[in-house]
Structure 1
Amino acid sequence: MNAVVEYTSVRELRGPLAVVDRVEGVGWDEFVRFTPESGGERHGLVLEVDRGTAVVQVLEDTAGLDPARLRAAFTGTPLRVPVGPGWLGRICNGRGEPLDGGPPVFGTTTSAVSGDPVNPVRREPPAEPVLTGISAIDALTTVVRGQKLPVFSAAGLPHLELAAQIAAQSTAGGQPFCVVFAAMGVTHADAAFVRDALEERSASGELVLLLNTADDPVIERVLTPRIALTVAERLAFFEGRHVLVVMADMTSYAEALREVSAARGEIPARRAYPGYLYSDLASLYERCGRVRGLPGSVTVLPVLTMPAGDITHPVPDLTGYITEGQVVLSRTLHARGVYPPVDALSSLSRMMRKGAGPGRTREDHLDVAAQLLAALARARQVRELADLVGQSALTATDRAYLDFDDAFGRELVDQRRDEARTLEETLERAWRVLLTLPRGQLSMLPARFLDARLPQDGR
């Protein structure tokens, strides 16, 4: 066991950072305990060590501390948290401290919050679906166990409501399943909403909820997703559960990272974010997956808001490079009263073919999804044409595509905020929407599927 070395040489406190001089044997990411003369304790992580000087980020901020009367104890190990099934059903803050009135979370062992690297050759490709109960996602952008699939949103859109609904009703086909929900930088009203929305899943012992509110220390926000993923990895790979990790909002996380970088005096990159934003986001997103020889899986669903709806903003831009697709929310659909306002043509799940189709969901699933997207693209073109020349100038087939577009939003995408649809119901709705088109327009569907739904001499 590493010995704890205590120093009284805190030279400077700068925002959330403490600078400690004359240190020896201190390593990057080492856990530190600060003890003020007035009592109590604060905690930190080593960000940088250079020629006997350590820069430490203080998790509870440095307000009210006097560097001359502060002791820093370096533990010699990274920050570790207890892990195991004791987290299930618990509600904690971003540092893992209870908010539900219960005792501290205990575990059979502890794990470093930075995670353990996985040998790439031991990774199994994502397979089998995670069914969310959301038709627009299950039918067209199926989430696959072990995948990382972000939700791209913008201010004013119901991304938090969608994230909470997915967390409340997702399943893994009857196999052991749980959700780890990490909320970052949310308001107290949003935190209360998430607690209420996930109350049933929490009571059933299938939820870990970490709540970091906007008035919590900014450093805590950097730590919250790492604790969530550390807890999830244990539940998945040692307890045999399929775990869905929902992280909202990753833009708040990136802004916290930018604030810490500015306090360190680092040279900024795009839009003042640190130059290592890509690798930092990857260190979170890449902790999903399946590992050969170990049970369970970790599926990551990051939710992020695009400032001014700009998909080229660094956070969504870099997230898109790392992840395997995206679910994009649309202001246009939201204005039309459609919930969830998922823009199907902008959304994509690159792993969908690994988790849907014969033996996984339903034999006709992939063909139905392909036909839906092709018809939707044609319907959008027809609608633009109708805006130019008027509907009276359209052909009967073109008008059928307009009917299809209306039915797609009304019958398939739109659903109640507490409605969990089975995959069977979702695909049957998809068929009803497709059959608003003449049979001759359904060229992407095999004849055997059409014959079962329409007479051979159908439209």
Structure 2
Amino acid sequence: MTTGDSIKKMHWREIRLRPKIGTMLFSKHHSCDVVVVRVASPCPWPVGQADPERLHQGVTKLNLPQPRQLRAPRQSPSVLAISSVTVIPAPAHRPQDESRLSSTLTLSLPHLDRLRQLPLSPPPNEVERFRTRQTTSTMSDPRESSSYSIIPRIRYNTIGGINGPLVILDNVKLPKFNEIVTLTLPDGTERSGQVLEARGDRAVVQVFEGTSGIDVKKTKVEFTGESLKLGVSEDMLGRIFDGSGRAIDKGPKVLAEDYIDINGSPINPYSREYPEEMISTGISAIDTMNSIARGQKIPIFSASGLPHNEIAAQICRQAGLVQKKGITNKGVHDGHEDNFSIVFGAMGVNLETARFFTRDFEQNGSLEKTTLFLNLANDPTIERIITPRLALTTAEYYAYQLEKHVLVILTDLSAYCDALREVSAAREEVPGRRGYPGYMYTDLSTIYERAGRVAGRNGSITQIPILTLPNDDITHPIPDLTGYITEGQIFVDRALDNRGIYPPINVLPSLSRLMKSAIGEGMTRKDHGDVSNQLYAKYAIGRDAAAMKAVVGEEALSAEDKLSLEFLDKFERQFISQGQYESRSIYESLDLAWSLLRIFPKDLLNRIPAKVLNEYYQRAHKDAKGKGKARAEAEQQQEEGNLIDA
């Protein structure tokens, strides 16, 4: 590569500049379609003959700040070839003598369109690759350019061993934690991996596509200098991707509008807003008694053989926004469905389950507002570690850049934790409870805590992860640690499922800790909280009455206990139970709840204030027509008691 004071044509290596790079260099000139690179002296090596020694000398001759860790390494047995050159943005500086700048290169680029938001400052570790290509170059003002350091890309052939999904590399120069590497197999196929551990000149890499077929002696490894990023775009709505983020629906390639690190960025706790307003699922047991606020994280605890996949598909079909009435809030656009989207991530599912999800979403039209990530059971186990992060990165783009309210459903987090255990065992780490790594709590928090709302952004991310409890054990480390991080749980009960009740949601152990901020006057209805409390109380009393009946018999029960038994049966058969394709609004669910509470006389509904009771009870005292047998008996017994007291 040569440069001079007047350059007409140059032989560059191919420039793959993403839209973010273009906007980064021209944050003050959005309409420009060129990128300016400033160099301080000619680069003394040709493109096709990049020798490490000459390259090292050329880099050291540049009058630019050169961090020691970026200098080219000397020739060593581990270096096969320099396959490309990496350009890394250096800190902005201005030399005292501007005349020392000998040349400025202007690289022409196609016009960058489809840009939604332009970043104000460049990301710290943005890098680009150069491969052989011819382009024209003209002179430009150095004051409007950016300084760069040039370092080589080096390929290594120093694989020291393979252990499960891990590859151990020796004699590597300056590996970085979470850095992405490219492995080139002898047949030319490429696989991606990520650095899990970097210690001195040794690196441990997890390979996303698995390590089968990797030849220790002939496989070449190249460090990219980047963390794993996902190209995101609004066009991802309605698309299906695999667990690594590759489109598998035979659709056109997604044109990325931005590239985002899949590990996300930590959210300042001060910048978080309290979750408010409600997301409707169309399921009475959830909406009425375990309401979900926008920005909440609430898991579904299920078990093997229970219909949690059907519940997840039903939520995707029916989920939507519940708009505040008469209250203006900057965090709410409106209740229109265009402001709502779903990101669905499936990990370790079999082919039949994957077909069920895709077919169900396509047939009912919910795929148009959904982005689907599928990691199958026969896919590499290590891929399950990045699948939920890909889903959450997509959700963050929808929420914080497109300002949508996003519902993220992840199933099954137990498969994710099993993948963590497999990697931990391959690294020979000290195991924790039941063989899971001791850092599993921290790792799960990096997933769950990405839900929420951020001040100044109109969007929100709501998470509903699904966990299958091994052996129906609620004390298992996975649900146990999840409960410490999330804000409640929805419990799928096997006993209800055995009795033919769908969805078999047991409301007694279920809980939504943020329900109070999502319901009430202006958001749902003013009687919502009181009705929920009364339903909980009467359902618990009914369960106790059923247990008493099994001991002493129905004849020994009081009239109130018989009312509780009647309520118990109707509550499970009419309120909790509903069809898979039956969607109930929150107002329909509340009206249904009142119809069940009218089984009891007014004075037995002691969890509802008198004012609310008088407004919604609406019972004709003198009309005995349509009364249940147990209810009529209870009223007669109450009247006899009043006569005795008189």
TM-score (structure 1 length as normaliser)? 0.98
Alignment of 1:409 with 2:579, yes or no, is: no
Residue in 2 that maps onto 1:354: 517
Alignment of 1:275 with 2:404, yes or no, is: no
Alignment of 1:327 with 2:490, yes or no, is: yes
Residue in 2 that maps onto 1:290: 453
SS of structure 2 residue aligned to 1:182:
strand
Q: 1:8: Cα distance to partner?
A: 1.6
Structure-2 separation of matches of 1:191 and 1:455:
49
Give CA deviations for 1:338-395 in whole Å, capped at 9, x if unaligned: 1000000010000000101111111110100000001111111111111110011001
Residue in 1 that maps onto 2:542: 379
Give CA deviations for 1:93-135 in whole Å, capped at 9, x if unaligned: 1011111011333321100010011111000011000100011
Alignment of 1:262 with 2:425, yes or no, is: yes
Q: 1:445: Cα distance to partner?
A: 1.0
- Between stretches 103-112 and 71-80, larger displacement belongs to 103-112
Query: Relative to 1, partners in 2 of residues 1:455 and 1:194: Cα closer, same or farther, differing over 3 Å?
Result: closer
**Mapped contact 2:316–2:366 kept (Cα < 8 A):** no
Return the match for 1:79 from 213, 225, 228: 228
Q: 1:292: Cα distance to partner?
A: 0.0
Give CA deviations for 1:295-318 in whole Å, capped at 9, x if unaligned: 200000000000010000000000
Q: 1:7: Cα distance to partner?
A: 1.6
Equivalent residue letter for 2:199: D
SS of structure 2 residue aligned to 1:445:
coil
Query: Relative to 1, partners in 2 of residues 1:391 and 1:298: Cα closer, same or farther, differing over 3 Å?
Result: same
Alignment of 1:36 with 2:199, yes or no, is: no
Alignment of 1:95 with 2:258, yes or no, is: no
Residue in 2 that maps onto 1:130: 279
Give CA deviations for 1:131-163 in whole Å, capped at 9, x if unaligned: 000110000000110000000001111011101
Cα-Cα RMSD: 1.4
Residue in 1 that maps onto 2:201: 52
Equivalent residue letter for 1:415: Q
Alignment of 1:308 with 2:457, yes or no, is: no
Equivalent residue letter for 1:243: V
Residue in 1 that maps onto 2:305: 156
**Mapped contact 1:165–1:197 kept (Cα < 8 A):** no
Return the match for 1:14 from 159, 163, 166: 163
Structure-1 separation of matches of 2:619 and 2:495:
37
Structure-1 separation of matches of 2:207 and 2:587:
50
Alignment of 1:197 with 2:376, yes or no, is: no
Equivalent residue letter for 2:555: S
Alignment of 1:146 with 2:309, yes or no, is: no
Structure-2 separation of matches of 1:202 and 1:267:
48
SS of structure 1 residue aligned to 2:245:
coil
**Mapped contact 1:238–1:295 kept (Cα < 8 A):** no
Residue in 1 that maps onto 2:257: 108
Residue in 2 that maps onto 1:393: 556
**Mapped contact 1:232–1:245 kept (Cα < 8 A):** yes
- Between stretches 238-247 and 159-168, larger displacement belongs to 159-168
Q: 1:203: Cα distance to partner?
A: 6.2
Structure-2 separation of matches of 1:102 and 1:416:
33
Structure-2 separation of matches of 1:221 and 1:106:
24
Structure-1 separation of matches of 2:423 and 2:195:
13
Query: Relative to 1, partners in 2 of residues 1:101 and 1:177: Cα closer, same or farther, differing over 3 Å?
Result: same
**Mapped contact 1:89–1:202 kept (Cα < 8 A):** no
Q: 1:454: Cα distance to partner?
A: 3.3
Larger Rg, first or second structure (1 or 2)? 2
Residue in 2 that maps onto 1:238: 401
Q: 1:434: Cα distance to partner?
A: 1.1
TM-score (structure 2 length as normaliser)? 0.70
SS of structure 2 residue aligned to 1:421:
coil
Q: 1:398: Cα distance to partner?
A: 0.5
**Mapped contact 2:239–2:367 kept (Cα < 8 A):** no
Equivalent residue letter for 1:7: Y
- Between stretches 193-202 and 172-181, larger displacement belongs to 193-202
Looking at secondary structure, tell me which structure has more helix per residue: 1
Alignment of 1:454 with 2:603, yes or no, is: no
**Mapped contact 2:162–2:168 kept (Cα < 8 A):** yes
Structure-2 separation of matches of 1:276 and 1:368:
41
Structure-2 separation of matches of 1:170 and 1:47:
38
Structure-1 separation of matches of 2:496 and 2:346:
25
Structure-2 separation of matches of 1:28 and 1:413:
49
> Tell me, which stretches of 5 or more residues in structure 1 are unaligned?
none
Structure-1 separation of matches of 2:606 and 2:166:
62
**Mapped contact 1:96–1:227 kept (Cα < 8 A):** yes
**Mapped contact 1:139–1:426 kept (Cα < 8 A):** yes
Equivalent residue letter for 1:167: C
> Tell me, which stretches of 5 or more residues in structure 2 are unaligned?
1-87, 89-126, 128-150, 323-334, 623-634, 636-646
Query: Relative to 1, partners in 2 of residues 1:158 and 1:344: Cα closer, same or farther, differing over 3 Å?
Result: same
**Mapped contact 2:233–2:254 kept (Cα < 8 A):** no
Residue in 1 that maps onto 2:391: 228
Structure-2 separation of matches of 1:46 and 1:164:
35
- Between stretches 25-34 and 268-277, larger displacement belongs to 25-34
**Mapped contact 2:167–2:206 kept (Cα < 8 A):** yes
**Mapped contact 2:181–2:224 kept (Cα < 8 A):** yes
Residue in 2 that maps onto 1:429: 592
SS of structure 2 residue aligned to 1:401:
helix
Give CA deviations for 1:218-267 in whole Å, capped at 9, x if unaligned: 01111100000000000001101000000000001100111111111111
**Mapped contact 1:88–1:202 kept (Cα < 8 A):** no
**Mapped contact 1:177–1:243 kept (Cα < 8 A):** yes
Q: 1:450: Cα distance to partner?
A: 2.2
Structure-1 separation of matches of 2:479 and 2:597:
32
Q: 1:438: Cα distance to partner?
A: 2.1
